[in-house]
Structure 1
Amino acid sequence: MPRIGAALLSGLTLAAVTSVTGASSPAAALQIAPQLATGGPSGPEERARADIYDSLQKLPRETPVSLVAQAVGPSVVYVETEMVRPVRTIFGLQNETRNGSGSGVVIHPSGLIITNYHVVENAREIRVSFEGNPESYPAERISFVREEDLALLKIQLPDQDEGSRPLRRRARGGLRAASDRAGADRSDGGNPDAGMTDAKGPTLFPTVRMGTSADLMPGERVVAIGSPHGQTYTVSTGIISGLHRDVSVPGRDLNFRGLIQTDASINFGNSGGPLLNIHGELIGINTVMNASAENIGFAIPVDRVRQVLEDVLFPNARRTWLGFDVTEDASGLVVSKVWPMGPAEGTGLCEGDRVVALDRTAVPDAESYLLQSLQVDVGRPVDIQFARGGETFTAPIAGWDELNGFFFRDVGLTVKEILLNQNRQPFLQVEAVLPGSPADELGVLEGDLLQAARPRTRQRYPAIALSDKATLKTILDGVPAGTEIEIDAYRDMNGDLRFSNNELLKGVLVR
């Protein structure tokens, strides 16, 4: 299939608005309009024309496109970015601030937004705003997939600041039946689903309805909403011109496959906005246009967007690990593993239990569970509701940060970042070790300081200082399972809280 070169939509472009000299003023138009309505000839032809006007007045002005705009418009956001890049000047290398803009659409009431990655790439500040609302909100890019040109944003509200929360090893309070809890602190007649909401939090944002791109038809009417050339909340309409288009983007090493082609206007600033069917359902994310032709634009199919969300964007955005794994079957979410010593160990949750709700929000499937888990803050106890043998139970659970969850699952330890001595040298201090894990086999103990690491596949390179969790995560991510990693660690053998070279230990961790 031939490939189509396309220009990527990015950056802020301001459309200059000019006035036409010599045009009739609005006041003059208002003076003439009544004469057109009441004056002039009154012969049979004019009476017939008047009858036509009367008939036209009875026709509804509302169209399917305008209904789509009314339904979906409140969930479309205008994305503004500020980015800094180094530029060479006569005074040397200096930072240049640039502004950009694009579009996005809300997919979850808590303020999760899907947009194009190129809209927010290298942005140090992101703000989003809604049509008709003078307030703009700061947003954070919480995950992205550059190769798919997709990014997930989260609107940041003042009451959502997480701050610094301690690691909790397990929840307190143990197992209790939901029916017992209902009698104590609820008046819902014992209904385990009472009080559940689709989202939790003081501010809920309007969302778009997700459609499917599996049954799209060439010639089908579509609607695009976005902010072309900085003109916020612009609606355009057209048809699906073609399906399964492969598009290459020169200069950015992007090669899209299976895009939707449409003649609905997709211009600079429409990037990241929704492409909708006539039912107001999301069928694609507008991403590129053919700059050398008119009315040739492309959108990422929503089924592909959904797959990237579930496989990459949601998992990578999750900041809290709850200590258990789930699988989905015909009955819903089933617990496939509860990690010993993990956050869920003290809850009574067992393998085979069916998860009903998380933080008082129903989670009937894997997608809703992933979305809800994004709302759980590290260390904040939330209720997990699960069913077993016809009975429903509720227990509190306080999650760890996702990085410690990764370390625990991968090599069997958790760590915290600390600064030591007068130089404030950073280390990773071991907090817990899982018996029988690779870390336990290495001989790591609680309180040890991890100082450096080097995969044995990189013998020509120096060891990497373990100054933070992200560095350890990068090292583990960069090697396959079974790789041997040399570890340098300090242990306070004499209990003086000082670490010298004779307290430096070396070993090999097998990932």
Structure 2
Amino acid sequence: MRLLYSYRVSPVPSSGVSKEASAAAGDESKPHDCFGKDTIANAAAKVGPAVVNIAIPQDFFGITSGKSIGSGTIINKDGTILTAAHVVVDFLGTRGSSKGKIEVTLQDGRTFEGKVINADLHSDVAILKINSETPLPEAKFGSSSRLRPGDWVIAMGCPLSLQNTVTAGIVSCVDRKSSDLGFSGMPREYLQTDCAINMGNSGGPLVNMDGEIIGVNIMKVAAADGLSFSVPIDSVCKILEHFKKSGRVIRPWLGLKMLDLNEMIIAQLKKQDPSFPNVNKGILVPMVTPRSPGERAGFFPGDVVIEFDGRPVERLKEVIEVLGDKVGVPIKVLVKRAGDKLVTLTVIPEEANLDV
């Protein structure tokens, strides 16, 4: 789906702490360090007016039978709404013309017809649009990179058709891998929380104590309590930038499996194979996909990436950041091999063909 439209992507703001306060209390200091009886309520009140309920009539052989419920957040006063792609998956490509209408209800009770603007099933992020004669309430983006396990967060939305519901909990893990959850394909990371998330919360915001969106709630473990997952807002911002720039998300593919190294892993690998490269950090390539850009570039299993596109790298996140949407662009990679041999390779990424 390639659509032309415009909307504003809010920049990821700073924590809001003054320079003086930061100098006195350190970078981790936040205005809500003093947790009071109104802290959660005040944070929820900031975002609440922008949280919407999304209802889609379910038709079976022309007969309407109930509604599929989801949630979302208005991120621009013009009616741009952030939600989960799986909430509106039936409307992708149909523009809402053949399966009824998307009904969007605000906290104040007003109802609008929504239109799917863009969506990415792989990341489970979508954009809707409603039209209003007056400016609408909007929520602000925070930063998910500043989160720590144990930070308080709020989940808002419409679980089980119960509108304007607020639940609270803590961040359980800031970088839960998709592979940990049994998902195949390209790697993704989620925020794990113990907030109560149920059917209907999908697409709703995960909020910090400053009243900022720091994630989009998308799923829970059905057979457990307190195992809920959200797409980090920093990842969402990158998706939205792709939407604006290309109308879709462009993901470069190298055909390399890559793993972060640390001193403990390196010591273990050297014990198993004394010829393992002498490195203190880097990114291990344990597998190279046949006939992939990585194989054509000359990568071998066991290579350790130490520079990518001229930039020293220590973590896979840094490689992904450098890659961006570079498809068909030659990239120089410096790797270290057994025997401490340094080799410079040139890899040309291809666009990933995702089966989602």
For Structure 1 versus Structure 2, the TM-score category normalised by the shorter chain is 0.5 to 0.7
> Could you report, residue by residue, the CA deviation over 1:58-107 in whole angstroms, capped at 9, with x for unpaired residues?
xxx9511000111110000000112446xxxxxxxx45545201100011
Which SS does the other structure have where 1:140 is aligned?
A: strand
Alignment of 1:33-432 (within 5 A): 63-84=38-59, 94-95=61-62, 97-98=64-65, 99-123=67-91, 124=99, 125-133=101-109, 135-157=110-132, 202-247=133-178, 257-312=188-243, 315-316=246-247
Of structures 1 and 2, the larger Rg is shown by 1
* Maintained 8 Å contact 1:114/1:150: yes
User: Is the contact between residue 248 and residue 255 of structure 1 (CA under 8 Å) also seen in structure 2?
Assistant: no
**CA RMSD, Structure 1 to Structure 2 (Å):** 2.7
Distance 1:290 1:255 in 2: 21
Q: What SS is found at the alignment partner of 1:214?
A: helix
Q: Counterpart of 1:68 in structure 2: which amino acid?
A: A
SS in 1 for 2:40: helix
- C-alpha deviations, 1:323-364, integer Å up to 9, x for none? xxxxxxxxxxxxxxxxxxxxxxxxxxxxxxxxxxxxxxxxxx
TM-score (normalised: structure 2): 0.53
Q: 1:207 to 1:267 in 2, by over 3 A?
A: same
Superimposed CA distance per residue, residues 364-411 of structure 1 (whole angstroms, 9 cap, x where no aligned partner): xxxxxxxxxxxxxxxxxxxxxxxxxxxxxxxxxxxxxxxxxxxxxxxx
Q: Any conservation in 2 of the 1:143–1:313 contact (CA below 8 Å)?
A: no
| In structure 2, C-alpha distance between the alignment counterparts of 1:80 and 1:252, rounded to whole Å | 28
1:247 Cα deviation after fit: 3.2
| Equivalent position amino acid for 1:283 in 2 | I
Question: Which amino acid is 1:126 matched to?
Answer: I
Q: Does the residue aligned with 1:280 lie in a helix, a strand or coil?
A: coil
Deviation readout 1:473-495 (Å, 9 max, x if unpaired): xxxxxxx9xxxxxxxxxxxxxxx
- What amino acid does structure 2 have at the position aligned with 1:109? K
Give the Å deviation of 1:249: 11
Shift of 1:214: 1.1
TM (norm. structure 1) is 0.38
- 2:25 paired residue number: none
Q: Distance in 2 between matches of 1:156 and 1:314?
A: 23
Q: Percent identity?
A: 35
Instruction: Tell me the SS of whatever aligns to 1:209.
Output: coil
The 1:307/1:62 distance shift into structure 2, 3 A limit, reads: same
> In 2, are the aligned partners of 1:148 and 1:256 still within 8 Å (CA)?
no
User: Using the alignment, how far apart are the partners of 1:212 and 1:267 within structure 2?
Assistant: 24
Question: What is the SS of the residue equivalent to 1:210?
Answer: coil
Aligned CA distance change for structure 1 residues 313 and 119 (closer, same or farther; 3 Å): farther
Q: How many residues align?
A: 206
2: CA distance, partners of 1:287 / 1:253: 17
The residue identity in structure 2 corresponding to 1:131 is: Q
Shift of 1:271: 0.4
**Structure 1 Cα separation of the partners of residues 39 and 229 of structure 2:** 22
The alpha carbon displacement at 1:314 in A equals: 6.5
CA distance in structure 1 between the partners assigned to 2:200 and 2:178 by the alignment: 19
Q: Which runs of 5+ in 2 are unaligned?
A: 1-35, 92-98, 249-350, 352-356
Aligned residue type for 2:230:
A
SS in 2 for 1:229: helix
- In the alignment, the residues of structure 1 paired with residue 185 and residue 159 of structure 2 have an alpha-carbon distance, to the nearest angstrom, of 22
Which deviations, in whole Å up to 9, do the C-alpha atoms of 1:243-268 show, x marking residues without a partner?
Answer: 21123699997876210000011111
Contact map agreement 2:83 2:125 (CA 8 A) in 1: yes
Structure 1, unaligned runs of 5 or more: 1-60, 86-93, 158-201, 318-479, 481-511
Whole-angstrom distance in 1 between the partners of 2:106 and 2:165:
12
Q: Residue 83 of structure 1 contacts residue 122 of structure 1 at CA under 8 Å; is this kept in 2?
A: no
2-structure distance, mates of 1:212, 1:271: 20
Q: Following the alignment from structure 2 to structure 1, what is the Cα–Cα distance between the partners of residues 223 and 186?
A: 18
CA contact (8 A) 1:79 1:102 kept: yes
